[in-house]
Structure 1
């Protein structure tokens, strides 16, 4: 695909890249200085180019999703370590959380069936693209015959997208901040399943944006009251005055996929 319309009289960048491959091989043409700036990986990864890389990482998924006509998403956050049925849990506590995999899968399937009514433009499932609850979300969407988004990130340990993300909507990020923006930019609902540091980070980021009015309120659903009330003493935060009592109404607990769908359906439509 060419990066500029041909309504102008100038050569476009794709043509220049092709022309650069046909030039004579000389010390001058082999020198890094001669490379076209936008094809020079060594140049683009310099510290001084960080603002450009941030912009590119914001733009690429945005443009792809715009081209696919995706207008709203349903965000699934949850632990990468929660096992799928038949998998051995890495920790005894994870075995107790395993049912959340199936609940996330069922919820994603139900919401994707809704999404198909809008030809895949609304209520598109978006996950972090990895294993565990993320895989369950993408899997449920695939089983419904719809598309889903995976927002992967490069980590020190090996990570690859799960097999159920729609390939054309499988993105990879270097910057956590830009990835978080893409989770929330189209969010019609946010669903948090049990998880660890990453899940907590994502949930508290979203809660903070809503609490401070930087993001409009959307259904904010936490699956599994028992887990969340053992992990976070929300009432203690309110009792200490570090959050307002009304902040406890920014989220609600649900236990089943059907309960979550009903909560989303009951949410007041924007004026």
Structure 2
């Protein structure tokens, strides 16, 4: 059996110690069906059991607990959440593609149109990058203390935000998620603050647990989901009010007509005050600073 690693100051062995104690040499295991039985495994080392339907509540708790423990240990106490599309390219990439298609004399109008749209929307990548850099540079000097940028950890706008923080020599957080297709964290997240989730619900909870402001750039279904969940939580007093900044008025005004919800009695007139439109990183940062000063 493995030698004990218990500390002199510890009464009970740790779980890690017990895993070592539970190991048997191959010659002992050989021909012993009781020791080889799955029932005999320590519950927390039995992967089949841990991944069973019955253990879903435990897995949910683990996804809440692990990032929480790491973030507390590393002193991440206040965050600015930056949401946005994973499909938005950086400006250089978008420009290069348009130039390449033009030089090649591309006749595929759909492809050209898509490249032009990406070039137009690349400004959101760059604005997220600039805003995150602004937050990283200026928040340590503010009365409220350091703010950490946190994103969904993917490409696009999320990458832009993590990149901006990294360029300002600041740590930033990424909450990546397992998807059916390949999904990798962007390379600008601080490695020790790069987390991976299975459950969207736990991921979204971590976005809000330390949030001092949300900045929502143009995006698709995922971004809309994150925006409307945050609005609902504030509307129903499940969380305290905080700045919810919707970046890019022209885009959002074409996509959503909040006044229709008011006119049809689906929301109260005051509910449209739960968010603000912004169009520049400087404007967003000023609103965030003003909110922090009131805390």
Q: TM-score range by the shorter chain?
A: over 0.9
| Distance in 1 of aligned mates of 2:241 and 2:37 | 53
| Distance in 2 of aligned mates of 1:78 and 1:60 | 25
Match of 1:249 in 2: 273
Correspondences of 1:220-259 after superposition (within 5 Å): 220-259=244-283
Match of 2:160 in 1: 136
- Are residues 1:65 and 2:71 paired? yes
Q: What SS is found at the alignment partner of 1:87?
A: helix
Identify which range, 198-207 or 32-41, moves more after superposition.
32-41
**Alpha carbons 2:91, 2:119 under 8 Å: kept:** no
Q: 1:159 aligns with which of 183, 191, 199?
A: 183
Q: Which has the larger radius of gyration?
A: 2
| Distance in 2 of aligned mates of 1:206 and 1:6 | 48
Listed as ranges, the gaps of 5+ residues in structure 1 are none
Match of 1:29 in 2: 35
Relative to 1, partners in 2 of residues 1:268 and 1:145: Cα closer, same or farther, differing over 3 Å? closer
Match of 1:52 in 2: 58
Number of residue equivalences: 267
Match of 2:150 in 1: 126
| Structure 1 residue 20 displacement after superposition | 2.9
Match of 1:97 in 2: 121
| Distance in 1 of aligned mates of 2:65 and 2:45 | 17
| Structure 1 residue 7 displacement after superposition | 4.4
Q: Residues 28-47 of structure 1, C-alpha deviation per residue, up to 9 Å, x if partnerless?
A: 33332222111111110000
| Structure 1 residue 259 displacement after superposition | 0.7
Match of 2:192 in 1: 168
Q: What SS is found at the alignment partner of 1:267?
A: helix
| Distance in 1 of aligned mates of 2:177 and 2:216 | 19
Higher helix proportion (structure 1 or 2):
2
**Alpha carbons 1:219, 1:263 under 8 Å: kept:** yes
Q: What SS is found at the alignment partner of 2:29?
A: coil
| Distance in 2 of aligned mates of 1:87 and 1:12 | 51
Relative to 1, partners in 2 of residues 1:41 and 1:115: Cα closer, same or farther, differing over 3 Å? farther
**Alpha carbons 1:71, 1:121 under 8 Å: kept:** no
**Alpha carbons 1:104, 1:137 under 8 Å: kept:** yes
The TM-score normalised by the length of structure 1 is 0.92
